[in-house]
A = this chain, B = another copy of it.
Amino acid sequence: MALQLGDFVAALGGELHGDATLAIEGLAPLESAGPSHLSFLSNPRYQPQLQASQAGCVIVAPAMRDAALARGACIVADDPYVYFARSTQLWKRAHARPPGPAIHPSAVIDPEAVLGEDVRIGPHCVVERGARIGAGTVLKARVHVAEDCSIGARCVLHPGVVIGADGFGFAPSPQGFVKIEQLGAVRIADDVEIGANTCIDRGALADTVVEEGVKIDNLVQIGHNCRIGRHTVISGCTGIAGSATIGAHCMIGGAAMILGHLTIADRVSISAGSFVARSIGKPGLYTGIFPIDDNASWEKNAATLKQLHTLRERLKALEKKL
């Protein structure tokens, strides 16, 4: 189905300056958009790109109205980035092909699992005994939801996700490790999205908990008994060890590693690639990354790093002398 500019405004609001009947053939960033594309300017920093853009129409904030009008058609919206996000949703709905069956016949759903209304479960998913899937939630394909785990409403779980595999717990004994059966489950609240091949382990005794609105990227590992606070975002390749408590509205960069049994306050941002070995009690941005360098320079600095403590002692001795 083709969309016209007016369809966006009719569905999403905003103030249209331009021809409502313009046919929109796609959404595109400012620099590659053409005369039949809808684009957006969310960051005033990119204003120079606005002027140069060939876009048929640009979504802008009220403060950019004049600048946008000087260029051509625009939709003025309070939050252009949210408006753009909703435009992608409108676009997707308008171009959706007829859906397949709500529950794919190859999915294996235990009769004792409980599915809410309008749940969609794709090919080769497995939903075990006692699991609960909330209304409107989508399990894309090859998703595993283990015994007694619960997923909230309107969640999206991408292919390969594993919810409720055993947490990693063993007691050492002279005869080798003795498995600690993981008797807890996983509870995921509403509006959570979980990326491909991500794993969230079931709790040892109590449950692992993911609160509402959390967004988790691909290939993330969340250990047993973690709690992830509402509206926290976790980027790809991140690992969170068991029994860590992450606050609400946190931003965890990609490939971060968070040790177990520690607490991160609300509104903490962790830079990608950082290793978090201690609790963090105050909001802010935290970082711990070895800066990349050409290999020869790195080798020299890394070698010196191993004497850093000695260097400090030598410096102290010099200071005393003077």
Interface residues of A (CB under 8 A from B): 26-29, 32, 79, 81-82, 84-86, 88-89, 91-92, 97, 104, 106, 108, 122-124, 126, 129, 140-142, 144, 146, 156, 158-160, 162, 165-166, 168-173, 176-183, 191, 193, 195-197, 199, 201, 204-206, 212-213, 215, 217-219, 221, 223, 231, 233, 235-237, 239, 241, 254-255, 257, 259, 270-278, 284-295, 297-309, 311-312, 314-315, 318-319, 321-322
Contacts and interface: CB of A to CB of B under 8 A. Distances in A.
Nearest to A216: B168
Contact of A140 (B106, B108, B165, B255): B165
A162 B197 contact: yes
A259 to B, nearest CB: 6
A168 B195 contact: yes
A306 to B, nearest CB: 6
A195 B144 CA distance: 13
Contact of A171 (B85, B205, B221, B315): B85
A304 B308 CA distance: 7
Given A108-B124, A275-B292, 15 more contacts: A27-B205, A85-B179, A89-B181, A108-B141, A165-B195, A165-B196, A166-B193, A197-B199, A219-B219, A219-B239, A236-B241, A285-B294, A286-B298, A288-B291, A291-B305
A27 B318 CA distance: 60
A257 B176 CA distance: 25
Q: Within the oligomer, what is the number of copies of this chain?
A: 3
A104 B108 CA distance: 10
Given A254-B241, A305-B301, A284 B294 contact: yes
Contact of A181 (B88, B212, B276): B88
A259 B289 CA distance: 12
Nearest to A282: B294
Given A254-B257, A287-B299, A178 B85 contact: yes
Contacts of A176: 191, 212-213, 231
A275 B272 contact: yes
A233 B177 contact: yes
Contacts of A104: 108
Contact of A297 (B81, B97, B289, B306): B306
A231 B177 CA distance: 7
Contacts of A257: 237, 254-255, 272-273
B183 A88 contact: yes
Nearest to A307: B312
Given A236-B241, A311-B315, A123 B123 contact: no
A272 B241 contact: yes
A16 to B, nearest CB: 20
A172 B257 CA distance: 24
A205 B38 CA distance: 11
B199 A219 contact: yes
B129 A97 contact: yes
13 contacts: A26-B205, A85-B178, A85-B179, A106-B108, A168-B235, A254-B259, A286-B292, A287-B292, A288-B289, A288-B290, A288-B291, A288-B293, A289-B302
